Amino acid sequence: MTEDNKSIKEQTGYHITDVTESAKLPTPFGIFNIIAFKDEQNKEHAAVYMGDITTDAPVLARIHSECLTGDTMFSLKCDCGFQLEAAMKQIAKEKRGVLLYVRQEGRGIGLFNKIKAYHLQDNGMDTVDANLHLGFPADARHYEICAEMFNYLKVKSIKLMTNNPLKVAEMKKYNINVVERVAIEVGRNKYNENYLDTKEERMGHWLTHGNH
Ligand SMILES: Nc1nc2c(ncn2[C@@H]2O[C@H](COP(=O)(O)OP(=O)(O)OP(=O)(O)O)[C@@H](O)[C@H]2O)c(=O)[nH]1
Ligand SMILES: [Zn+2]
- Tens digits of residue pLDDT in 184-194: 999 999 998 88
* 22 in a structural domain: yes
From 71, 78, 166, 171, select the one nearest 118 (Cα to Cα): 78
Same domain, 136 and 60: no
Same domain, 33 and 83: yes
Same domain, 123 and 172: no
How far, in Å, from the CA of 98 to the mean position of ligand 1? 19
Same domain, 116 and 95: no
Confirm or reject: Cβ of 86 under 6 Å from ligand 1.
no
Q: CATH number, domain at 31?
A: 3.40.50.10990
Same domain, 81 and 165: yes
> ipTM beyond 0.90?
yes
Domain interval for residue 58? 8-104+141-203
Give the number of the ligand closest to the Cα of residue 128. 1
Confirm or reject: Cβ of 160 under 6 Å from ligand 1.
no
Same domain, 98 and 153: yes
* 23 in a structural domain: yes
Q: Answer positive or negative: Cα dihedral of 123, 2, 199, 201.
A: positive
* 45 in a structural domain: yes
From 46, 54, 61, 65, select the one nearest 94 (Cα to Cα): 61
Q: Are 191 and 76 in contact (CB under 8 A)?
A: yes
User: How far apart (Å, rounded) are the C-alpha atoms in residues 25 and 49?
Assistant: 9
| Minimal-distance CA residue to ligand 1 atom 9 | 106
Which pLDDT does position 212 carry in this prediction? 40
Same domain, 79 and 159: yes
pLDDT tier, 2 (very low <50, low <70, confident <90, very high otherwise): low
Whether 96 is catalytic? no
User: How far apart (Å, rounded) are the C-alpha atoms in residues 81 and 189?
Assistant: 13
Q: How far apart are the first and last CA of the chain?
A: 38
Same domain, 155 and 191: yes
pTM of the model: 0.93
Same domain, 44 and 125: no
SS3 142: coil
From 203, 169, 163, select the one nearest 79 (Cα to Cα): 163
Q: Total domain count for the chain? A: 2
Which pLDDT does position 81 carry in this prediction? 97
Give the number of the ligand closest to the Cα of residue 117. 1
Same domain, 44 and 92: yes
User: How far apart (Å, rounded) are the C-alpha atoms in residues 42 and 49?
Assistant: 22
Distance of CA 34 to the CA centre of its chain: 16
